[in-house]
Chains A and B, each alone.
Chain A
Amino acid sequence: MNKQEFLNALEEILELDADTLTEDQVLADLESWDSLAFLSVIAMADEEFDLVIQGSKLEEITKVGDLIGLVSEHLSEAA
Chain B
Amino acid sequence: MTAEVNPLDLTGKHILVTGASAGIGRATCVLLASLGARLMIHGRNEAELNRTLTMLAGDNHSMSLMDMSQTDELAPWVQQLAAEHGHFDGFVHCAGVQITKSIRSFDAEFFDQTMRTNLASALAISRGFRYRRPKAQQGSIVLVSSIAGLIGQPGNIVYGASKAGLMSATRGLAMELLRDNIRVNCVAPAMVETEMAQRTRDDMTQAQFAHIEAQHPMGLGKPEDVANAIAFLLSDAAKWINAVTLPVEGAYLAN
A-B interaction: yes
Q: Contacts of B179 on A, CB cut-off 8 Å?
A: 34, 36
Q: Mark B171-199, 1 if CB is under 8 A from A, else 0.
A: 00000100100000000000000000000
B161 vs chain A, min Cβ distance (A): 26
- Is A5 at the interface (CB under 8 A from chain B)? no
Is there an interface contact between B131 and A15, defined as CB atoms closer than 8 Å? yes
Is there an interface contact between A15 and B176, defined as CB atoms closer than 8 Å? no
- Is B211 at the interface (CB under 8 A from chain A)? no
Residue of A nearest to B132 (CB): A15
CB-CB nearest 5 A-B residue pairs = A15-B132, A15-B131, A34-B179, A36-B176, A36-B179
Q: Measuring CB to CB, which residues of chain B are less than 8 angstroms from any residue of chain A?
A: 131-132, 176, 179
Q: Contacts of A15 on B, CB cut-off 8 Å?
A: 131-132
> Which residues of A, 61-75, contact B by the 8 Å Cβ criterion?
none
Q: Contacts of A36 on B, CB cut-off 8 Å?
A: 176, 179
Residue of B nearest to A32 (CB): B132
A31–B131 Cα distance when bound, in Å, is 13
> Which residues of A, 4-63, contact B by the 8 Å Cβ criterion?
15, 34, 36
B182 vs chain A, min Cβ distance (A): 14
B4 vs chain A, min Cβ distance (A): 39
